[in-house]
Chain A
Amino acid sequence: MSKLGQAKRIIFLKTADGQLFEVDEPVAMEFEIVKSFFDENEDAADDTVVPLPNVSAEPLAGIIEFCKAHVEFRANGAAGKDEVKKFNAEYIKEKSNEQLKELILAANYLNIKEMLDFLTETIANRLKNKSVEYVRAFFGIENDFTPQEEEAVRKEYEWAFEGVDED
């Protein structure tokens, strides 16, 4: 672990598609999985490469961008302020549903709670008032109900389907 006065430590991460990332220690330690890797291997050499077999380069770059900004916000005492909301809104604006899902899978694997909260809320907002078919397509869900079973579920929660337009 780096101590005061030492040069800033860099953590090396290797993605599933073989790309090597150099990440500042405080940012990499946002990833619970990286943190516990070093907690468990206390004597790991400084140039140890942490393998991330479930994450590819594109989502990892996005995650690093997000965590870097949030580490800075916290250091500047800006956490919870409008600045953060503005950054989050900008960050997510250009992301497609596909990218969002990739980010969620990666953030879940890396175990980054704050980002996961933000991403899941974003997904919930994007699905708001969408049709059953849209949600099925979004998650890649195959409807394995028989028509009778589906009707039974619809009947059980009749109140929830009131005023909902059929697709």
Chain B
Amino acid sequence: MQLFLSSLAQIMTPMILLYILLGVVMGLVFGAIPGLTGTMAIALCLPLTFGMEPTMAFALLIALYIGGISGGLVSAILINIPGTPSSVATTFDGAPMARNGQAGKALGAGTFYSLVGNIFGIAVMIFVAPMLAQVALKFGVYEYTAVSLFALSLVSGLAGKSVTKGLVSCAVGMLLGCFGAAPIDGYARFTFGISGLEAGFASVPALVGLYALKELLAEAKPSGKVNILDVDTHIKGLGFSKKEFVCQIPNMIRSALIGAWIGILPGIGGATANIMAYGIAKKRSKYPEKFGTGIIDGVVASETANNATIGGAMIPLLTLGIPGDAVTAILLGTFTIHGLQPGPLFFSQNYDLIYTIFAAMIVASVVTFLVQLFGMRGFIKVLKLPKHILLPIVIVLCVVGSFGVNNRLFDAWVLIIFGLIGYIMSKFDYPLAPIILGFILGPITETYMRRGLQLSKGSFLPFLTRPISGVFIVLTVVFIALTIISSIRKSKRAEATNL
């Protein structure tokens, strides 16, 4: 504790605080603009940190990381386009809330629960990191396969009115995820001789395109009048009541746990965590039918979970030297630049620096919260902009951002192709969330399953006999069975009332 306080004091120098503030603001901007992500902001700033003191360098990078993940909620709520893949699920209820005139409440809740998620993740990291890392190690290829399958089974919860349409969407997502070099053997699939397709569709332009173009095209429909939402820009406090806070506690804790745990598993990441938390919150809710109409629960689940992944992802990095996502992979490189050796001894050999990182993370979370809180009134004014002015600007930014993913024009085309897919699918009432789930989890499941089969020399048995993996497979089956049973019951009841 003393060590922690002294690190906190070390962080509280004007220079470092300034860097944290800069990092947070830049991260928020990158996070809020669809197509640009916190990862990009970090990659951009990485060379700047080479010459800095380690403390300063990590303070800046961590501020960018936290700001980047938190910023996604702004565009998700206000314009129904997720700013980053981590805030896809925030659009499900956040955007309807904004349409119902509750934008302030949605932003307030999103901001507050981002802070909660951050702090929870960091607390987990500080107190139980070494122990958890050992547990995470028990997760081998079989367990990853089972967890991904379980996450996929959540599709039924995201499907909306028609389970069939949800499954079709999911299948489309999985199909799109198959494009490019196959996992493991690198065999080219669906490349049609187009060299840009060799690496498949990059996930950021794909996900952003799915949402962004749809909004633009929907707005472009000739309606003859300019819609300007009448919004109340005066928000008091965070916009939600104490009673609502109390009601959300179970949801908050559950989502934080999901987020932190998904963060710890290297390679699954925030893009999955927010959708999983949303799906589970909906399943566990007493009023699942209200999800998607604009209730606070959805925003709470998504924003708590995606921010909790940050602390989670830092655990394997700091304790084992194994990065959990793209950002922590960059941090790993930064350690080396500063002459620090990441690995299992990192935690015990660099106590001072580790605690400085912890302190920087907490300060950055609070700064993010404050910046968003004070910026909220400004953000919300975006809603007053006519969409025919706002959306074209957003689309241009999306294209710039997509280009920036890998610095090639092909990714900008991906944005447009996915935009058209998103528009057509939503036009025919196919939900978009299952596409994303399929697109992200399909390749992950395939990779781990094929790896598992290589290890077991083709036998499926270890997937069932390994305890953790077995439990998740059983959970998946139970989950699907329950969904089928409840929908049969529902249709029977509907028949009965019709008669």
**Binding between chains A and B:** no
